[in-house]
Each structure stands twice: as C-alpha cells, then as structure tokens.
C-alpha cells in the first residue's frame, strides 16, 4: 500500500497555494507541480514541499509527477485552450500510476449546452475523468472574488468597475476558500468520491454592491459601469487576453445575467469547518491592490 502523498498541480496559483499550505499544516506530504522554478516554488520548497517542474500538456512529465502519488488536484488554466487533451493525459497517467482519488476544478457554468467553449469543455472533461475508474470529486465554483484583479487598473486609475454582468447577482468566492476545500477533500477523499460540489461565497451581490464596497474600503467613489457584452470582450482583447478567453467570458457574462452563476450554500463551511470569506473582507484584505497614488499618500501620512 502506498504511503499517502498528494500532488497539487498549479501549486503556485490562486487555489493551489492555499491547498498546499493547508495540507502542510495537517502534516500531509505534498508534491507541487509547477511550470517554472521561481521565487514562489523556492518558498514552497523551503516549507518542505517536494517540487517537480512539468507541463500538463506533456504526458511524460505528468506520468513522472504522479509516480508514488495517492491523490491529486487537477487544474488547467482557463485562459488557454487544451483542457481536454490535458485531462485525457492526466487521467491516463493517473491510471498507470494507480492514483486513487482526484479533485478536479471545473466551473459553475459547465454544462453540455454551454455557449462557452471553455465551459462546455469543462463538462466534457468531467465526463472523461468519471470514466477513469478513479474516485473523482468535481468542484464547480461560481465566479471568483479575484475577478476584481482583472479590472485592477480601471479601478485604480479611472475609479470605475467596467463589467458586462448587467444586474446579475452571484456570491463571489475567494480562491483561498476553494484551496481549503481542495485540501480537505484530498486529505480524506473517500467520502467525496463521485460527488460534484457547487461552491459559493456567503452572499449574493450585484456589481453595484461590489462597487459600493470598493467605495467604502478605498474612501473614494468607485462606479460600476455596465457594458454591453461585445464591448467588454473587446476591452479584454485590449488588455491582452486571448480570443479563447474572450469567447468564454462573453458567454459567462450572459450566464451571469441569466442567473446561472447565482446561488448560495454552506458547502465551504461544511467541508472545511470555516465559513467562506465575504467580498467586503476580500476587498479590505487586498485594499493596497486597488489604491491610487493619492490614496497611498494619505495612508503614508
């Protein structure tokens, strides 16, 4: 029988970092798969985490990364195509290495008839993993609180929150909370085999609500600017995002307007024993990221 060891892919990413940190705090041996060796991976190594450099599109490195692993977290970047190929490779490698459990991160909009290529691919990827014979747990989070980081410059420089979500409401969830869920399931995966968990933050909000929270925390008026979906997609293009991501987000914006991203539940607290972070807390915690030069001067004074 294998000695328990968990592989975290995307280990320096938003969800992976917290998953690694939480598992280490529980005394669980962790191997972190990273795309490049840098300061972040060095910090993980300094904390006693085994580091492997690899790419989810390279089957041989995935097989190597999964050697001796009992359970694993699978995440693929939403900004680029290739999810289905990476999922198939990961599943085959996990079968060969006799991995017993996988936590797969999908998204709340994943469904057969999604207009988003990425969201539909996530649904197909779920089905591929289900056929692996491995105990699979799918996570379907709603939109992340970290969405604000895409719009950091507009908030800092123009005091606006430009989005195409209309009047749609959803309960933003922080990546840190998802990371704790990942760790909790991987630490004791048996009870979660075959489950799909929709994950939400504690409170449904509109972007008007989010703008009001930014205003409150930053001490200056931040205005939500509702955009039409094609105009927002064009803005993402100007910001350097891929055509694949623009197509995905265009569909997500419509889904948000249609209520697909809405809902709340207590799963984060049930699975981790800790309530999820609210949006006001997230903004307060990350206040420095959205302050303009004038705000920094006032704070320094």
Q: What is the mean pLDDT of each run of 10 residues along the chain (301 residues)?
A: 88 95 96 91 90 95 98 96 98 98 98 98 98 98 96 97 98 98 97 98 98 98 98 97 97 98 98 98 97 63 44
d(CA 251, CA 229): 9
**Contact (CB, 8 A) for 111 and 138:** no
Pairing of strands 101-105, 71-74: parallel
Per-residue pLDDT tens digits for 47-88:
889 999 999 999 999 999 999 999 999 999 999 999 999 999
d(CA 242, CA 249): 11
Per-residue pLDDT tens digits for 242-256:
999 999 999 999 999
Residues in the chain: 301
Assigned fold of 6-143+174-199: Rossmann fold (3.40.50)
> pTM here?
0.95
**Contact (CB, 8 A) for 7 and 73:** yes
d(CA 47, CA 30): 10
Which pLDDT score, from 0 to 100, does residue 3 have?
A: 77
Which pLDDT score, from 0 to 100, does residue 301 have?
A: 44
Residue listed under structure tokens 């909009």: 109
Report in angstroms the alpha-carbon separations of 4 from 27, 44, 71, 154. Answer: 11, 19, 8, 46
Closest by CA position to 175, among listed 16, 14, 286, 289 = 14
Full DSSP string of the chain? -PPP-EEEESTTSHHHHHHHHHHHHTT--EEEEESS-SHHHHHHHHTT-EEEE--TT-HHHHHHHTTT-SEEEE---TTSS-HHHHHHHHHHHHHHTT--EEEEE--TT--TT-S-HHHHHHHHHHHHHHTTSSEEEEEEE-SBTTHHHHTHHHHHHH-EEEES-TT--B--B-HHHHHHHHHHHHHS-GGGTT-EEEE--SS-B-HHHHHHHHHHHHTS--EEEE--HHHHHHHHHHTT--HHHHHHHHHHHHHHHTTTT----SHHHHHHSSPPPPHHHHHHHTGGGT--HHHHHHHH-
Which pLDDT score, from 0 to 100, does residue 1 have?
A: 62
Which pLDDT score, from 0 to 100, does residue 292 have?
A: 86
Domain ranges in the chain are 6-143+174-199
């Amino acid at each position: 029988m294998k000695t328990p060891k968990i592989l975290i892919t995307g280990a320096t990413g938003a969800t992976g970092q917290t998953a690694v940190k939480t598992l280490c705090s529980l005394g669980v041996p962790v191997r972190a798969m990273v795309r490049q060796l840098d300061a972040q991976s060095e910090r993980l190594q300094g904390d006693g985490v085994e580091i492997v450099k690899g790419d989810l599109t390279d089957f041989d490195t995935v097989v190597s990364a999964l050697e001796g692993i009992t359970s694993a977290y699978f995440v693929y970047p939403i900004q680029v195509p290739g999810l289905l190929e990476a999922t198939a490779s990961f599943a085959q490698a996990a079968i060969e290495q006799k991995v017993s459990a996988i936590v797969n991160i999908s998204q709340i909009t994943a469904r057969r008839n999604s207009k988003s290529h990425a969201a539909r691919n996530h649904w197909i990827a779920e089905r591929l993993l289900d056929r692996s014979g491995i105990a699979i747990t799918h996570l379907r989070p709603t939109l992340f609180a970290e969405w604000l980081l895409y719009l950091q410059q507009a908030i800092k420089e123009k005091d606006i929150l430009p989005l195409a979500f209309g009047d749609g409401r959803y309960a933003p969830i922080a990546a840190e909370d998802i990371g704790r869920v990942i760790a909790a399931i991987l630490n004791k995966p048996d009870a979660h085999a075959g489950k799909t968990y929709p994950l939400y933050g504690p409170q449904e909000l509109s972007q008007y609500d989010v703008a009001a929270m930014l205003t409150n925390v930053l001490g200056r008026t931040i205005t939500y600017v509702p955009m039409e979906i094609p105009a927002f997609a064009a803005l993402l293009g100007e910001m350097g995002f891929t055509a694949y991501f623009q197509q995905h987000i265009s569909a997500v914006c419509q889904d948000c307007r249609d209520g697909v991203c809405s809902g709340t539940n207590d799963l984060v607290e049930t699975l981790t024993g800790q309530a999820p972070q609210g949006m006001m807390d997230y903004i307060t915690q990350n206040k420095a990221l959205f302050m303009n030069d004038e705000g920094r001067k006032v704070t320094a004074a």
